[in-house]
Amino acid sequence: MEVELGGTYVICFENGEAPPDTFIYFRHSSSGWHSHGDLFAETVDDIALVPVTVLSKLLDGELLVSETHFPNGTHEISLVDPELGFDLASLEPGERQQFYRMKQGEPQVAAS
C-alpha cells in the first residue's frame, strides 16, 4: 500500500513473505524499516505503531517526516517524533536536514 502524504512524499507499507513481516519505506529514499510484527518507533512513549497509527500520527502532526541530504547525493527519509527534539548536532559538514509536517486532509491511498 502506498500513501501520498502531500508534496513529494509517499510512504509505502509492504507485506513480507512470512506474516507478520512488514516493510515500511518512503519512495525514493535510500533506506527503510523492516518489522517482525509491530513497528517500534523512537517516540516519547516508545510505542508499537501499526500502519494506521503511523498515518494517524502523521496527520495529527505527532510524527514528522525528516529528510537528510548527504554530500554524495543520496538522501534518507525517516519519521521523527517532534517531542524528542531535533539532534542537529549529529549532522556532518555538507549534510542538510529538513522536517515536514503532513498536509491536513485525507491521505491518498494507492494499491500496489
Share of the chain above pLDDT 90, in %: 6
3-state secondary structure of 21: strand
Grid-cell match 529538513, residue found: 98
Q: What is the structure's pLDDT at 28?
A: 80
What would the pLDDT profile of 36-82 be if each residue is shown by its tens digit?
Answer: 555 555 555 555 556 777 788 888 888 888 888 899 988 888 888 88
- Comparison of pLDDT for 61 and 109, the residue scoring more: 61
- Would you list the domain boundaries of the chain? 2-105
3-state secondary structure of 98: strand
The pTM of the full predicted model, rounded to 2 decimals, is 0.69
Q: Give 60: exposed, middle or buried? Use CB within 10 Å, 0-12, 13-18, 19+.
A: exposed
Compute the distance between CA of residue 40 and CA of residue 47 in angstroms, rounded to an integer. Answer: 6
Compute the distance between CA of residue 36 and CA of residue 21 in angstroms, rounded to an integer. Answer: 4
